[in-house]
Amino acid sequence: MNAQRGSIEERSVADLARELVAADAGGWTPDGVKALAERLGWAWGGTSDQPVLVTGLASGNARLRPVGTYEERYVDNESYVELAVPLATVASDAAAQAAAFRAAREELVAALGKPSVMGSHGEMGPFYDSGPLWGAPFTRWRGRPNTLELRAGKSGPELVLRPTDPAENWFWRQGVGEEHSISGFFGSTRDPANAGLGFPGGWTARSWETVSSSLGDFLGALPAEVHALGITIGMPFYGRTGSGSPILFDVACDGDRLAIGCFAPDGIDPAALGWGTVAEHPDTASIWGDDARVWRLDAGGPGEPKGHALAKMLVETARAVGVVEPTDLIIGGEADYVDGYHVTYYGLGLPTG
């Protein structure tokens, strides 16, 4: 395609994705990537440290990420670890960013089928890159030798073509057990494309301060990320106390709203801890009915939840109930299965049972 053809509308997201999936990067060597650029009709530009491919797209030029200090231990002869193509520049608010990501995702699913992997990079993406503050969702069509990913970029959604092994090698090596060594969540299907996919170990929160921090990050971004990914999350939390392990909370998010239910036992004053009633949060009746025994709150839609305030309230409630250690706050196994994906919540540092 001629680089002067113009906008992303003239070269649809689906067409661009198909071209990238079919692309041969020649081992991601300089000569291989230059040949790829020629086949796409893109011109080489930028500098050796920050190379770009001049695409002629209204959404901007494609960026190449050379192997540097943070990438070199994960590669095997590759000179580049990704080619990122911006799809749109979007208003910075979470709702606009999530909507743009979802629109691109829906077009890609129609063209390529259901992604074999999806999730959120959290605070730390491949090769220690940081994502946007509103959330860091991604969907991935895993392949060999290359993988295509739709991810949340700094200014809007972007398509990323990368050699499969370096990014997966980086991901696998993050499971070192130190607090916050890996973030976000990761979901995979039984698609044959995932054959040989490795999964890192997790880490364990060692203090309530860590739980408040990680849970706050998770809850604050959850509605935007869930909306962007087109999924629904139902996540019960159980608390191990001297009298058993009853359900304490139910986190429900469909991407439009985040709602949290509280099942506090007798002897606890949920209102004093910040919980409300169905009369105060009427929209939650569609989830837990008008059962007065369920204390609740409606935390809002994309960009609205006050994640760290919510996390503090959950931690204070758990401790008031008698949950002594962070390892006694348990994510219910029901949360592991989301719309056909098996999901691991790496960023929370909490056990699953």
- Number of residues assigned to the chain: 353
Q: Work out the percent of the chain whose per-residue pLDDT is above 90.
A: 90
Q: Given the DSSP bridges, would you call strands 185-188 and 51-54 parallel, antiparallel or unpaired?
A: unpaired
Segment 258-278 mean pLDDT? 95
pLDDT of 47: 85
Give the tens place of pLDDT for each residue, 316-349: 999 999 999 999 999 999 999 999 999 999 999 9
Question: What is the pLDDT, as a whole number, of residue 136?
Answer: 98
pLDDT tens sequence across 218-237:
999 999 999 999 999 999 99
Give the pLDDT of residue 10: 63
- CA–CA dist 151, 143 (Å, integer): 16
Cα dist. 199→137, 168, 175, 194, 202 in Å? 18, 9, 8, 11, 9
Q: What is the pLDDT of residue 176?
A: 81
Q: For 283, which DSSP code?
A: G
pTM of the model: 0.94
Task: Determine the pLDDT at residue 7.
Answer: 41
**237-263: b (≥16 Cβ within 10 Å) or e:** bbbbbeeeeeebbbbbbbbebbbbbbb
Helices (H), the chain: 13-21, 30-40, 94-112, 164-172, 208-229, 270-273, 285-288, 307-321
Task: Please say if the pLDDT value at position 8 is more than 60.
Answer: no
Reported as a pLDDT band with limits 50, 70 and 90, residue 1 is very low
From CA 175, how far away is CA 159, in angstroms rounded? 26
Residue where the block lists tokens 């000179």: 79
Using one digit for the tens of pLDDT, what is the confidence trace for 114-145?
A: 999 999 999 999 999 998 999 999 999 999 99
| Inter-CA distances, 15 with 41, 139, 280, Å | 14, 17, 48
Asked if the model's pLDDT at residue 194 lies above 70, the reply is yes
pLDDT at 49: 83
> What percentage of the chain reaches a pLDDT higher than 70?
97
Q: Beta strand pairing status for 62-66 and 80-86?
A: antiparallel
Tell me which residue has tokens 């809850």: 219
Mean pLDDT of the chain: 94
Quick: pLDDT tens for 90-116: 999 999 999 999 999 999 999 999 999
Residue 9 has pLDDT above 60, yes or no: no
Range name among 187-196, 263-272, 306-315, 328-337 with the lowest pLDDT average: 263-272
* Nearest residue to 6 via CA among 45, 58, 84: 58
* pLDDT computed for residue 213 by the predictor: 97
Cα–Cα separations (whole angstroms), residue 236 to 61, 131, 183, 261, 264: 43, 27, 20, 9, 13
Strand partners, 250: 236, 261
pLDDT at 242: 83
Helices (H) and strands (E) in the chain, counts: 8, 16
Q: What's the pLDDT at 6? A: 37
Identify the CA nearest to 238 among candidates 316, 348, 350.
Answer: 350
Give the pLDDT score at 5.
35
